A = this chain, B = another copy of it.
Amino acid sequence: MADHNLDDILDRLDADLPQALDRLMEFLRIPSISTDPAHDGDVRDAASWLRDELTGLGFSAEIRDTTGHPMVVAKTAPGDTRPLLFYGHYDVQPVDPLELWTTPPFEPAIEDSDDGQVIRGRGASDDKGQLMTFIEACRAWKAVNGDLPPGLVLLFEGEEESGSPSLVPFLKANRDELAQSLALICDTGLSSDGRPAIATQLRGLVGEEVIIRAADRDLHSGSFGGLAANPLQILCNALAALKDENGRVTLDGFYDGVEDLSDALRRDWEALDFDAQEFLSRVGLKHPVGEKGRLPLEMVWNQPTAEINGITGGYTGDGFKTVLPAEARAKISFRLTGTQDPARIRDAFRAHIRAHLPEDCSVEFHEHGGSPASVMDTSDPAFESAKTALTEEWGREAVFIGMGGSIPIAGDFKRILGMDSMLIGFGRDDDRIHSPNEKYNVESFSKGARSWAHILASLR
């Protein structure tokens, strides 16, 4: 594996940090809020800024229109190394409530904090600051080696914060151009104890809405109570029976495809020293629930869940009405791991509800998304290379982690482009993304760029 003058690249990054921060500030001043049509022009300005920045660096960069906000695609010359796709997004979250910001969200500033210098402003961490770490690594590479790293395709999206409506059509329409051998996604964080981390598995998701109907009207509990079916009771019975006394989900075949932790992952996750009580105490709780006898991290990263996200039915206003309602509604979601099949989970859930339904009642289901878990093939040597590279840069052992949530793009890359993703990011738990006073540590920015230099050197 060639060294590509890594030490010089790292020195160059350090020397250029003030200018790199200035460039990020300029980028952060563009209020590219993708959910607000009033900012459509700003979103396009951010795309143009990126395109110009990349063109200036020597990328072949273009704005690609979609039916929504545009994509920015940039490429370097092909090489004899693995072709890689890098992904980030240049749109940002809305800023409400504005009055809670200590500085204006689009007037970014470097501030001192107990934790070192931070870059304050909307998008500093999510995701402008993060995506710039990769661009700065490429810039330093070119300054030292004369050319950009070969074999890169960069894809920047402007709709990540508004549900990515154009992404899947764009991936499908440009499959040949975008399908590389591996994707690098920079939109995640360090482990909660501050160590560099590569997310190698993300849970999938099945969302279901259920409406149970009994009588054809609301009934008076004085006249009908004790005789007529109560859809709220049926719903409670069915949802209570979703889990057994140990917290295991009771749906038929639910655990098919769920894999126990490998020894290697177990070592990584145990080493994270995750304190579930401390984690829960931040939201006013103390005691982990869920299946007995599992690591807390295993529960959020490697075990599937069944959660009730909403219930409504009957009289819920002030005071009291002794009604037996005609219907009851609930939204339930399942987080999936391993190779659990979303369609089979959905079917098993519907069968479970129907098994609790009296013959004279009816049920209606609505599907709200279904995607399998993303489990990366970490036998791909790129994962160990990146782990070693991160360990070198941070001076702390890098870890493979899981993620409890879903990052749809990783699944889309796998499904449409046929490639795994390495999710590497440098955000911190306290970055306040999606909230007022978002920030990104200068250390995250600086060591993030240096991390990509390490990784690029190891993969080129």
Closest to A405 in B: B222
CA distance A338 to B294 in the complex (A): 50
CB atoms of B227 and A288 under 8 A apart:
yes
How many copies of this chain are found per oligomer?
2
CB atoms of A215 and B404 under 8 A apart:
no
Q: Is the CB of A305 closer than 8 A to any CB of chain B?
A: yes
CA distance A369 to B289 in the complex (A): 35
Q: Is the CB of A329 closer than 8 A to any CB of chain B?
A: yes
Closest to A429 in B: B223
From A8-16, A85-93, A312-320, A375-383, give the one contacting chain B.
A312-320
Distance from A341 Cβ to chain B, minimum over Cβ atoms (Å): 19
CB atoms of B207 and A300 under 8 A apart:
no
Residue count of chain A within 8 Å CB distance of chain B: 78
Which residues A272-297 have CB closer than 8 A to chain B? 276, 279-280, 283-291, 296
Given known contacts A283-B228, A285-B214, is B316 in contact with A331 (CB within 8 Å)?
yes
Q: Is the CB of A230 closer than 8 A to any CB of chain B?
A: yes
Closest to A291 in B: B226
Provide the A350-385 mask, 1 if CB < 8 A to any CB of B, else 0: 000000001111000000110000000000000000
Contacts of A221 in B (CB 8 A): 305, 307, 309, 333, 335, 404-405
Q: Is the CB of A237 closer than 8 A to any CB of chain B?
A: yes
Given known contacts A233-B239, A284-B216, A322-B205, is B225 in contact with A404 (CB within 8 Å)?
yes
Q: Is the CB of A110 closer than 8 A to any CB of chain B?
A: no
Q: Is the CB of A219 closer than 8 A to any CB of chain B?
A: yes
23 contacts between A and B (CB under 8 A): A207-B320, A209-B320, A221-B307, A222-B335, A222-B404, A222-B406, A224-B300, A225-B305, A225-B307, A228-B280, A230-B289, A230-B307, A232-B311, A233-B239, A233-B308, A308-B314, A309-B324, A310-B316, A311-B311, A311-B313, A311-B328, A312-B313, A320-B333
| 8 A-B pairs with least C-beta separation | A222-B405, A216-B284, A310-B314, A240-B240, A320-B368, A226-B299, A232-B308, A286-B360
